[in-house]
Amino acid sequence: MLILLPPSESKTAPVSGDPVSFDTLSFPGLTQDREHLAATLARVSGQKNARSVLGIGESLAADVARNRELLTAPSGPALSVYTGVLYDALDADSLAGPAREVAERSLVVISALWGAVQPTDYIPAYRLSMGTDLPRHGKLNTWWKPRLTPVLDEAAAEHLVVDCRSAAYAAAWKAPAERTIAVRVEQLNAAGKRSVVSHNAKHTRGLVARCLCEFEAEHGAFETVHAVRDALSTRWTVELVEPTARKAGTLTVVLDPPTA
């Protein structure tokens, strides 16, 4: 099983540690692309129009300054650098030993800067989104797609893929349709009507990722999308639209109405 996650916009900068070592990151086929993009981001972040190019406001000027030190800044485990609603819900540090092992081999964060990283990869904090139109690169999800595809196609061979990414990050790599289910979150209201949610969706996807890691640690690897559905059904109301050879499936988690 591979569980695809988006990065968080907010990141916690490690206060100590060695700089990023490109040769030690997962998916070594991406090394040259990562080195190129990291150097480009550091250079662009030193320009007068950096905030405009990166699409961020004045309140995040410190993040732009941090980008300039990208190659020398301390690095830390990816799941300590990525913070925010989804990662708080995942709470990977509290996973028991076997579940932590599942997380380390199964979780893949799709990144605008690194392409794809896994939990034990050491990276610095940075500011770059997949929707950024970087000079001479274009939209980064388009730039990454031909680079990520052969690498992640190989990594995903014969694995089920549970896709928790947002749209911009999903566009950077199309997982094998027949083995992929995208996680969708809907909220019931008091009248029984459903709506798509944002904040709760991120939180729920973090919980889904955690639940699947714990379930696999206890019961063994998932063999079918039905097994994934059944595992999540122990906690939520879940609906599965099965994948086909041409289109990924959808696994909808339906949340109960909020309590007053």
Are 231 and 253 a contacting pair, CB within 8 Å?
no
Q: Give the start-to-end residue ranges of the domains of the chain.
A: 2-255
pLDDT at site 165: 96
Name residue, tokens 């990283």. Answer: 117
Question: Which residues make Cβ contacts (< 8 Å) with residue 244, sequence separation at least 6?
Answer: 177, 178
Q: Which of 54-68, 75-89, 95-109, 209-223 has the lowest mean pLDDT?
A: 54-68
* Phi, psi (rounded to 5 degrees) for 27: 55, 65
Q: What's the pLDDT tens digit per position in 118-152?
A: 999 999 999 999 999 998 899 999 999 999 999 99
- Please tell me the pTM assigned to this model: 0.95
What pLDDT, on the 0 to 100 scale, is given for residue 260?
A: 60
User: Using an 8 Å Cβ cutoff, are 187 and 200 in contact?
Assistant: yes
Quick one: which H or E segment has residue 255?
strand 249-255
C-alpha count within 13 angstroms, C-beta hemisphere, residue 51: 10
- pLDDT of res. 224: 95
- Cα–Cα distance between 198 and 204 in angstroms, integer? 10
Angle at 132 between CA 129 and CA 136, to 5 degrees: 135
Q: What is the mean pLDDT of residues 108-116?
A: 98
HSE of 132 in the Cβ direction (CA atoms, 13 Å)?
25
Under 8 Å between Cβ of 140 and 19:
no
